[in-house]
Structure 1
Amino acid sequence: MSNYLFLRGNRNKSFFMNIATSLEEKGHTCHLLKFELGELLFKSNVSTLFVPFHVTKDEYPISNEELCRLSIYNITYRRDILGSDVSAKELKTYKRYMYFIDRYIESKDIQVICLFNGYHWIDQVAKYIANKRGIEIVYFEDGLFRPYTVTCDHKGINQESSIPRSPDYYDAIEIDRERMRLYLFQPELEQLKEKNESLFIVAFVKLLSMLGGLFRIHPNYYVHITFWQGLKYFVQKKFFSKRRPDRLELPKEYVFVPFQVSRDTQILYHSPTIKDMRDLLDLVYESVETINIEQNRNIEVLVKEHPEDMSRNNYQDLKKKYKNVQGVTFIKKYGVSKLLNNAAAVITINSTVGVEALARNKKVITLGEAFYNIEGVVDHCSSPDKLTDVLKGTLQKPINKTRIQKFIYYLRFIYQIEGSIQSRNKLTAEKIADRIDTNNQRKEREHEICSRHTC
């Protein structure tokens, strides 16, 4: 049996608590560390500690330079988005929390650490400690087939995940075509069709956590968002859910460009050449125009704004730039499946929309680092100046439908765990606990075999 440590969690603060409870029912020991004031609203059945009340002035022995080299979102956001440096005071806070987490891990003999996403500074310092101590990490993230799947990976999320990159791996997979036909876009289990957690509850919890930072009960965990930005986001999200879809007549031939959240970790850490959606559109438009002129075609560009980004980026400057340009259409709300079904190609940096496009047997071009950059699955454009040539080739050649279907089958029915992150469904926790427990048993067997043969 193992000793687990759960740090933070996602917007559903019950998510980790439920998994921990399910693991304890299997005989494991779990510990949960809470960091935000809002988390205190949720009662846990496992050993729990509110960290801000236990942090001392002792600091973990790590230099500021080494700390700043970690993939800490707060630091990256300040540097790349705000154009400023993190203060020595904030780095000192990181070290103090780091010291406490390190001592706690040692005192509880922690063997597995569970993180959500992994780019928050708490996650990154815990990961650093875990690597130093040789402790296993399990990463969680929203599923690739939302909202009915969950990502659970021992290596990381997105580009850093354990998803195989070899085409041969997928060619050897046998798929259940009937299962794929019935359940690719819906859950196999009826219990998972329940409603998600209330947005009001999520907003209230986040408000309490912001107040906790304001009154210095704990550090300000939300450097990337102010109270007013949070309020604007909440109002925008409520109104957007009631907004009618855009009236749109789809062009005869078009490429679909899904915008991504501009300050998302996918852009900050896994898009080495394109950091702004404005640059993405300019690049795609120039490539499409070149092809239209050379081949006497009338390919248009459909751009869909990301709903999570609308409260921060309205792209009015970009819309003004392309206002009188024929062949470029901006879309706020419209069925993504409809946009994908009729697209000649989808051009993305590394969005999960790319996965949905593949699931619908569409041609996909990626411009960033993506776990689905696999030969015969997508066409990866490694340099922006090559996009025109890549797009020409993509539009001409047929897709490798067999390999794509096997890849999608692997993602949906083997790699992903069917469950809902945003609801308090106990079934989700049980399925995740089963997956983690099975992985541990496999590792124990491998270790035992290795010991017998003196590996």
Structure 2
Amino acid sequence: MDRQVWKNFAGQRVLLLQGPIGPFFAGVAKALAGAGAAAVHKINFCGGDWLFYPNDSTNYRGTLPAWPAHLERFLDQHRIDAIVLFGDCRPVHAAAIRLATQRGLPYWVFEEGYIRPNYVTFERHGVNGYSGLPRDIDFYQALPASAAPPEREIGNTFDRTALLAMAYYIAGSFGKPWFRHRVHHRSLNMLEGLVWWRSYFRKIVYRISQRHLLPQLSGRWSKQFFLVALQTAGDSQVHTHSGFKSVADFITEVATSFAEHAPAATLLVIKHHPLDRGYHDYSRLLRRLGSQLGIAERIRYVHDLNLPTLLSHARGVIVINSTVGLSALHHQTPVITLGKAIYNMPGLTFQGGLRHFWTDAQTQIPDLDLYWKFRNHVVDQTQLNGSFYKRMDGGDAAGLIGRSSAPLPAQASPPRPAVAPVAARPAGRLTLHCFDHAGEVVAGVDPVASQRALP
């Protein structure tokens, strides 16, 4: 995507809604102003928002039901030409998008990168399940082959992200007297800050206690395990773009199918999402499922093992709609998605259903040429090199690195239904993204293989 993307907003009056935790949207405002935007407005919804954007902003202190009417008055008063926001499924943003759609007002959405970990996503009229990216496999097959664009490595962002998160939630907690009506998608209290300390402690514990697992999975169990990549429990991509009510439901369905259909000599490796490390632990659920289904000895619950190594040695990867699935394609490891994903297409992902994936995954190896065409198009149209939580040296005012290319296209977006686009699964049947894994590299060198190669 063009590093001069902000010039698309020259002469426009832009409204920024809620951004990622931290000062990223303050940087976006500077980039927009520097590119000639006529005006940049910002609305805060809690003390955490205010902490990182205290000046030249408006604080919304009303209720969620009253928000659309307030926003409509704001749009009229300030003659807004475009809206920019982070995450299109948050309640305040979903309401804003409905209003923008009714008025024919362009809106642009930031999200964690489709291509991890060195990119962030910026799309017009929606991301993920609402993305305007083509879903037609013939479109990508017809694209010319091209080299992958150069990208700058981001490196680890976990420590900085944790500090920003703690500051955000502490400010959100202290700011409650000024923002009395809860419109934020998370509970804003001091415990949120403590969660990140617990996450950091667990990270150290898991690094030590599970250090023996990676050599086993890349050695004796290589190509004999299926990797299940979990998403965060509060991920809107789970609740909005899949039929699962929770990550626990996803785990239950996958484990049940594995017990019934997977070869007896295989393992089920379930990888916890690093950003959910401090919030949830599925150990009890997995022990119960292992006992009930008779697969206790075949389940491995892992946390901070190197993802490229796992992907390159897995027999197959199961996701809801995580971008880990896209990373698995990079390694030509078979992938099945159980939710709505931008990369779920014939030639890239397994199309035969979960019960057959366990035995037939190797019959649908991802087409590497098709993958690169798809990846390069996604980068060209939707990705900016950088991080929400760490400024890039040599980046623009928002800390992002882009490239010189054509202006952003006005992509069409899929219709947004009033209800979740995928129906919930029948009751009683064992059947919810930025970040990438907090700076965890998802495509790169296999450290175990590299170690074996040393003299």
**What is the TM-score with the length of structure 1 in the denominator?**
0.75
Q: Deviations over 1:203-262 (max 9, x none)?
A: 12221112222x254422446436364144222222144342512111141111112222
Are 1:420 and 2:382 counterparts? no
Aligned length: 384
Q: Deviations over 1:3-36 (max 9, x none)?
A: 1111121112x21221222122222122122222
What is the alpha-carbon distance in structure 2 between the residues aligned to residue 37 and residue 169 of structure 1? 45
Mapped contact 2:84–2:109 kept (Cα < 8 A): yes
User: Map of 1:291-302 to 2, 5 A cutoff?
Assistant: 291-292=261-262, 298-302=265-269
Which residue, out of 248, 265, 274, partners 1:307? 274
Q: Deviations over 1:76-126 (max 9, x none)?
A: xxxxxxxxxxxxxxxxx2243322221111111111011110222221222
Q: Name the residue aligned to 1:104.
A: 74
Mapped contact 1:22–1:430 kept (Cα < 8 A): no
Which residue, out of 116, 139, 148, partners 1:169? 139
Are 1:405 and 2:372 counterparts? yes
Which residue, out of 323, 348, 355, partners 1:388? 355
Are 1:205 and 2:168 counterparts? yes
User: Map of 1:49-448 to 2, 5 A cutoff?
Assistant: 49-52=58-61, 93-177=63-147, 179=148, 183=150, 187-188=151-152, 197=160, 199-213=162-176, 215-222=177-184, 224-225=186-187, 227=189, 229-243=191-205, 244=207, 246=210, 247-248=212-213, 249-250=216-217, 251-252=221-222, 253-272=224-243, 274-292=244-262, 298-321=265-288, 322=290, 325-380=296-351, 386-425=353-392, 426-427=395-396, 429=398, 438-439=407-408
What is the alpha-carbon distance in structure 2 between the residues aligned to residue 99 and residue 133 of structure 1? 13
Q: Which amino acid aligns with 1:369?
A: K
Are 1:3 and 2:13 counterparts? yes
What is the alpha-carbon distance in structure 1 between the residues aligned to residue 168 and residue 276 of structure 2? 21
Paired residue secondary structure (1:358): helix
Paired residue secondary structure (1:206): helix
RMSD: 3.0
What is the alpha-carbon distance in structure 1 between the residues aligned to residue 184 and residue 83 of structure 2? 23
Say which structure, 1 or 2, has more relative contact order (CA 8 Å, 6+ apart). 2
Unpaired segments ≥5 residues, structure 1: 56-92, 444-455
Q: Name the residue aligned to 2:436.
A: none
> Compared with structure 1, are the counterparts of its residues 308 and 194 closer, same or farther at alpha carbon in structure 2 (3 Å cutoff)?
closer
Paired residue secondary structure (1:429): coil
Runs of 4 or more above 6 Å deviation: 432-437
**What is the TM-score with the length of structure 2 in the denominator?**
0.75
Asked which structure has the greater CA Rg, the reply is 1
Q: Name the residue aligned to 2:438.
A: none
Q: Tell which deviates more after alignment, 132-141 or 257-266.
A: 257-266
Mapped contact 2:274–2:303 kept (Cα < 8 A): yes
Q: Which amino acid aligns with 1:50?
A: N
